[in-house]
């Protein structure tokens, strides 16, 4: 199919807004996985082209309705499908664990780091500083951060947990 033979397709504001929301979700997943701006643009442009081609077929010459877009979006992969698979950890058993952990949120490492410091501050205020507990939580965060190291949030978690654990050694 060439562009010259493609029927003209104008989407009304409501349908365009819903389509944009779907494309934004895909772009967000790609951005979190480290895709460059150009790659994100190329991928979402391809996806929009596909949706529009499918809408033409779905509407079959009739008026385009939001239900047509819903039907098309149902046939497509969900935005999370654009997430890269978990990086290999060098051992099949570790990869299996990572595969199970991966669907969780890559913000976990940062969460454990914050939790570790919260434990330290609260225990310090109560009179018996628990540096061991804080260190253990940061260590868990570090393990999650290694699993999520290819994700932007995961890398931030790696930095935070690494620095935290280093500081806690001296406390």
Cβ closest to another protein, residue 2 vs residue 128: 2
146 sits near another protein (criterion: CB under 8 A): no
**The two structure tokens encoding residue 147:** 């699993």
CB of 16 to another protein, least distance (A): 10
CB of 45 to another protein, least distance (A): 4
Q: Which of residues 27-46 bind another protein (CB under 8 A)?
A: 30, 35, 39, 42-43, 45-46
3 sits near another protein (criterion: CB under 8 A): yes
Cβ closest to another protein, residue 30 vs residue 142: 30
- The three-point CA angle 27-29-33 to 5° equals 110
Spatial separation of the C-alpha atoms in residues 57 and 53, rounded to whole Å? 7
Number of residues located near another protein, criterion CB under 8 A: 24
Interacting residues of 123 by C-beta distance below 8 A, sequence separation 6+ = 129, 130, 133, 134
Q: Which of residues 69-108 bind another protein (CB under 8 A)?
A: 76-77, 81-82
Length of the chain: 171
Q: What is the maximum span of the chain, computed from C-alpha positions, in angstroms?
A: 77
Taking Cα atoms as reference points, which of 142, 94, 97, 135 lies closest to residue 116?
Answer: 135
CB of 66 to another protein, least distance (A): 17
Spatial separation of the C-alpha atoms in residues 164 and 141, rounded to whole Å? 10
Cβ closest to another protein, residue 15 vs residue 113: 15
49 sits near another protein (criterion: CB under 8 A): yes
Spatial separation of the C-alpha atoms in residues 23 and 41, rounded to whole Å? 10
The residue ranges that bind another protein (CB under 8 A) are 1, 3, 6-9, 30, 35, 39, 42-43, 45-50, 52-53, 56, 76-77, 81-82
């Amino acid at each position: 199919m060439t562009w010259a033979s493609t029927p003209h397709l104008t989407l009304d504001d409501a349908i365009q807004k819903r389509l944009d929301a779907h494309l934004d979700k895909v772009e967000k997943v790609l951005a979190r996985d480290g895709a460059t701006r150009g790659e994100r643009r190329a991928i979402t442009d391809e996806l929009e082209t596909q949706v529009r081609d499918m809408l033409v077929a779905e509407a079959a010459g009739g008026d385009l309705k939001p239900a047509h877009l819903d039907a098309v979006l149902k046939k497509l992969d969900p935005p999370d499908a654009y997430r890269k698979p978990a990086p290999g950890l060098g051992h099949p058993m570790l990869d299996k664990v990572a595969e199970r952990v991966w669907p969780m949120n890559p913000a976990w490492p940062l969460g454990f780091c914050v939790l570790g410091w919260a434990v330290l501050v609260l225990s310090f205020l109560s009179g018996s500083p628990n540096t061991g507990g804080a260190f253990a939580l940061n260590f868990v965060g570090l393990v999650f951060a290694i699993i999520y190291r290819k994700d932007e949030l995961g890398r931030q978690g790696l930095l935070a947990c690494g620095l935290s654990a280093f500081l806690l050694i001296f406390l």
